[in-house]
Structure 1
Amino acid sequence: MIMKDGIYSIIFISNEDSCGEGILIKNGNMITGGDIASVYQGVLSEDEDIILHVHRYNYEIPSVLNIEQDYQLVIPKKVLSNDNNLTLHCHVRGNEKLFVDVYAKFIESLIIKNTGMPQIYLK
């Protein structure tokens, strides 16, 4: 997966006729993000599909996949991308019939890099 480090705005549409919006941050090989009902975390890999762990924290908002507990999304290692946009087709681990299409747009570079020690880069 080719993604530059930074902050992305995401829109996701499920096959359950539901959609949502959130934010995704890539820093090195780590990805993390969130929306109004869930947070997600994963580790990028060049060689394998990516497993994104989705933790639900707001049960008052329905999941776009109608899953009310934590779950994992499988992100294929080959995705459509260019410098600023990314399109992903992800499915729930163990159930390929539940899937979500994710559209990510690059917003901003990171000013703090994950290098073990906090560093601030000013523009």
Structure 2
Amino acid sequence: MKDGLYSITFTTTEGTLGEGACLVRDGTFVGADFLHSYHGTIASDGSRLTVVMHCRRHAAEFVSQMNLPMEFDLHWKGEETTKGFVVETPLPGAGVILRATLDYIER
């Protein structure tokens, strides 16, 4: 996986939840969207990715569409694509699968 800046689109079977950006460097990342900031690690075994992400809502007055707590962790699985990578995880308490599509932003 390339180090650099990625655009992120978060979707479920219900549709698009939001968009954000993240910076990947040496197997770690930081990012944000309109509702959350996040950071974590990305590991690859050559074909599959494992991502551990800690999320924090910017402010209590912002309402989560999925009724998520102020802080939570997500454990993603996925794979690299020609543009970046795609990962998925069950959303705690929401009963849906969350998909994140990350596209590398060319310089």
Identify the TM-score tier after normalising by the shorter chain.
Answer: 0.7 to 0.9
CA contact (8 A) 2:9 2:16 kept: no
Q: Which has the higher strand share?
A: 2
Paired with 2:39 and 2:103, the residues of 1 have a C-alpha distance of 18
Q: What is the CA–CA distance in structure 2 between the aligned matches of 1:49 and 1:95, rounded to whole Å?
A: 21
Residue 93 (structure 2) pairs with residue 91 (structure 1): no
Once residues 61 and 73 of structure 2 are traced to their aligned partners in structure 1, the CA distance between those partners, rounded to angstroms, is 20
Query: Structure 1 residues 85, 44: CA separation in 2 closer, same or farther (over 3 Å shift)?
Result: closer
SS state at 1:97 partner: coil
Cα distance change, pair 35–42 in 1 and its aligned pair in 2 (3 A): same
TM-score, normalized by length of structure 2? 0.77
Q: Provide TM-score, normalisation by structure 1.
A: 0.69
Relative to structure 1, the CA distance from residue 86 to residue 50 in structure 2 (aligned partners, 3 Å threshold; closer, same or farther) is closer
Distance 1:69 1:61, change over 3 A: same
Sequence identity of aligned pairs in percent?
24
Report the equivalent of 1:105: 103
Paired residues in the alignment total: 104
Residue correspondence of structure 1 range 1-123 to structure 2 within 5 A: 3-15=1-13, 19-46=17-44, 49-76=50-77, 78-82=78-82, 84-92=83-91, 97-108=95-106
Greater Cα shift, 7-16 or 23-32: 7-16
Distance 1:44 1:25 in 2: 12
SS at match of 2:44: coil
Q: Which protein is bigger by CA-based radius of gyration?
A: 1
Structure 2 residues not aligned, in runs of 5+:
none
